[in-house]
Amino acid sequence: TPMYFFLKNLSFIDLCYISTTVPKSIVNSLTSDNSISFLGCVSQLFLLVLFAASEFFLLTAMSYDRYAAICSPLRYELIVNKTACVSILAASWLGGGLFGILFTASTFSLTFCGSNAVQQFFCDVPPLLKISCSEVHIAIDVSVAAGVFLDAICFTYITLSYVFIFSAVLKMPSSEGRTKAFSTCLPHLTVIVIFLLTGTFVYLKPPADSPSALDLLVSMFYTVVPPTVNPLIYSL
């Protein structure tokens, strides 16, 4: 039951996450109008960070859920009860909201006095920094550092969880039990790795003067691919 509770909320976040960038991009392509209002850009950046951070926190919670289910099956219902599930979900949304406010406020506190062409198909921190004429952007640097630090903690926790999970799975006498455990854990771990590595690459990569095909491709992997493949993976 907790796994399906988290999956329902993950599906909702995925729907919101992909709706932040893709519909606007499609409209721009169909109308040949590549503009976005200033308020629209602010809103897009806030929602993008909100849903991305909330999703990563929720994926971390799901690794804890899988750890409890596989490594402590007899105590599972006591550890991951209804109160714990709601508290974890609330913490994920709250953390996402705080990061959304932090990144949006620090980005748009900069001065924009030159080109207003965002070199990306959506408003994100790296392309907005390229068109800013502020040479010092300590606030956004601190925000990114805080995000990377928290991501590193979450990823370390996820990695340790899966180390214990896989060690427990390999000890299972039943091949059917091992297959079932791997089928729920490996897709989850794959999505997390793609989501985290591509996002970290974009945010920590030194800015280039002009966008490359690699930049556009990598950005797809943390904005479009995870929310697209998550329903497919967990449905199968």
Give pLDDT tens digits for 36-75. 888 999 999 999 999 999 999 998 998 899 889 888 889 9
The model's pTM is 0.86
Tell me, what CATH number does 214's domain have? 1.20.1070.10
For 14-18, 89-93, 161-165, 195-199, which range has the lowest pLDDT when averaged over its residues? 195-199
Is-contact 116 135, C-beta < 8 A?
no
Is-contact 49 95, C-beta < 8 A?
no
pLDDT at 48: 92
* Distance, CA of 209 to chain centre: 26
Q: Which domain holds residue 9?
A: 2-235
Residue 147: is its pLDDT beyond 80? yes
Residue 169: is its pLDDT beyond 80? yes
Is-contact 45 123, C-beta < 8 A?
yes
pLDDT at 85: 93
Count, residues in the chain: 236
Grade residue 91 by pLDDT with cuts at 50, 70 and 90: very high
Domain count, the chain: 1
- What would the mean pLDDT of 189-205 be, rounded to a whole number? 80
Stated as kind and residue range, the H or E segment containing 234 is helix 225-235
For 146-150, 196-200, 203-207, 216-220, which range has the lowest pLDDT when averaged over its residues? 203-207
- Provide the H-helix boundaries in 32-170: 38-71, 76-79, 82-107, 125-130, 138-170
pLDDT at 89: 94
